[in-house]
Homo-oligomer: A and B are copies of this chain.
Amino acid sequence: MDGEFVVTRRVHFSETDRAGVLYFAHYYRFMEETEHAFRRSLGLPIITEADGREATWPRVATSCEYFAPAHFDDELELALRIVEMGDRSITYEVEFRREGRRIAKGRMTAVYCTTANGEFQSATIPESLRQTLEGAMNSS
């Protein structure tokens, strides 16, 4: 799985902190936005249904390493790859780059779940969905 999916995303004023840099927790929002742009690029809806309930992907593990700060108005490149895919979960890696130089790297593992009233029930990723995700990454 060598392909990567890249979007650019500007750092907004509201996302900086008093140290003058992109606040560390917001990197996770950037990662999720990249994941959603990736799914949108495949024609995959982000909210789906399964067994008459809404299906969604709550995160079970996330992490990020920060190599250099990002600043207001920086236009970052966010490069997403699928690094692992299980029966019920998927792990993405997102590299943050500025003018081609890596400034951060994050990971998210999300589990396919049906949901109602703020509770989740994990389920097997539907075969067609899995194939689309895997196919896109291999061919990009």
Residues of A within 8 A of B (CB): 12-14, 16-21, 23-26, 28-29, 32-33, 36, 46-47, 56, 58-66, 69, 71-73, 115, 117-120
Q: Nearest residue in B to A69 (C-beta to C-beta)?
A: B118
How far, in whole Å, are A94 and B29 apart by their CA atoms in the complex? 20
Q: A32, B46: Cβ atoms under 8 Å?
A: no
Shortest distance from the beta carbon of A26 to any chain B beta carbon, whole Å: 7
Is the beta-carbon distance between B58 and A21 smaller than 8 angstroms?
yes
User: Which 6 residue pairs spanning A and B have beta carbons closest together?
Assistant: A20-B118, A63-B63, A25-B28, A16-B18, A24-B59, A14-B29
On chain B, the residues within 8 Å of A16 by CB distance are 17-18
In this complex, the member of A12, A17, A23 whose beta carbon has the largest number of chain B beta carbons within 10 angstroms is A17
**Chain B residues with Cβ under 8 A from A117's Cβ?**
20
Q: Are B13 and A32 in contact (CB under 8 A)?
A: yes
